[in-house]
Structure 1
Amino acid sequence: MTALTAPAPGGRTAGAFAELTRANARELIRDPRNFFFVLVFPLIFMGLFMFMGMLNPGGGPGGPGGFDPVRSGIPAVLLMAFMSLAFFGTATPLISLRQKGTLRMLGTTPLSRTTFILAQAPVRFAIALGQLAALSAVALATGFLEPSAIGRLLVTCALGLAMLFAVGYLVAARMRNPELANGLLALVMPVTLMLSGVFLPMEIFPEGLRSVAGHLPTTYFADALRQDLVGVAGGPIVTAWLVMAGVAVAAAAAAVALFSWTDGEKR
């Protein structure tokens, strides 16, 4: 985020917020790595699932294949896109800013931690809304998404995004090396996606692992997405919403409390 600059001393919080929001938008557009992982990579996977559906047109729950790659792929790709945006598009750039000393410069201004963290959200929620709109259009065109379920889907995605962004901010609050963070997230994210049941059926896991995976916050998000987006039966949707909201509040509070402008900041 080389485009970030310190807000003018004595400037109002609203002005600093707007300036930081614009800087974040420029950073996401200009950084090729973020652009690829946040916008291009999920589209590649969606294209792969659609290609698999073309190769197996008789698939689906009622077909001879017993598996519909498009129906399974839509919620999987949306969850992956949201996680990429929260982690690769949010956490690692913030860690890089700290390493470069940009956060130390911002820390010398009246800018508060809360304002800085919240300023990351608008452009990222806008990108997420575009991702949701694109995949919802596919789900509507294929007949999986019922128009009556769109309102509930928006609630699910809002809570899921709040949860993922809060966790992303929490990761950024304490990690110091962006390369290490990228490597760790590149390992954790696919494992989490697989354990959430969006790429692999939960039934293939050993009983103990299945029990642990079933209680992951991302599993609740994935289950809610499958219900709302492609009409697959699942657990109580209110339970999923409560879990996501609880994790979002806890992670956000921890991120604000633990966030530091520099590596050596004392608390």
Structure 2
Amino acid sequence: MVNQRQVLKPAYKVKSGDIIKVVIPEPKQLSLVAQDIDIEVVYEDEHLAVINKPRGMVVHPGAGNFENTLVNALLHKFSGRLSSINGVIRPGIVHRLDKDTSGLLVVAKTNEAHIKLSEALKSHQIKRIYYALCEGVLKEDSGVVDAPIGRHPVNRLKMAVVPNGKEAVTYFEVLERFDKYSFVKLRLKTGRTHQIRVHMSYIGYPLLGDSTYGRAKNEFGVQGQVLHAGEIEFVHPITLKALHFSADLPEYFVEILNMLRNRNNK
């Protein structure tokens, strides 16, 4: 309120002598619900777990979305035995996958494991391999995209390659070529938000189904990027044992590949 009247225009310029009244509501107590949602646990011990996240599942709650996330499932699965480093919204979450990206991610059960896993992630000691289907036929058999990523200068909901962005490096290898697509294997040196999606779009080969960084529609009717975190490798933060896990491509991904292979053979 300004001078006991509600100001509707943000462009209102405050004048000397104005009396401004602001009412700040009491903060709402946040409580996440543990939900019995079926998730695939690839590995588990007292310190950590490796999860194969399904496509379409959000990793942790956010604005307006506090249910049916991976965190809700983890709270039920592990009965609160998750690290508290990232607070109540992201218990146990060391790193994330986009909603429509399926595959492996590691979850910390203890704070000690969480801290050490985060340090390993920051120093590029956690090896992550992804598989994707790109639009267009890549000419090179392998290569590297070394281009800094930051917030898009116009659309703040997107990321982009920008001069003042953070270092971002993606290695790619072509596994199969089709008439209009490439099946690729990707390895991350860094882990920026949307890194693979931004980098592949930047070099002219956006991921199939990625309406944010590629085309709005596709011939397969896929909504969301065709991207799978297929392998993860790291040293156990407590036992120091070398661990490697892999997860098969999801069924929808295999079906598209088979359609393209059949088309190639005709």
TM-score, normalising length from structure 2?
0.25
Which has more strand, going by share of residues? Answer: 2
Q: Which of 1 and 2 has greater Rg?
A: 2
TM-score, normalising length from structure 1?
0.25
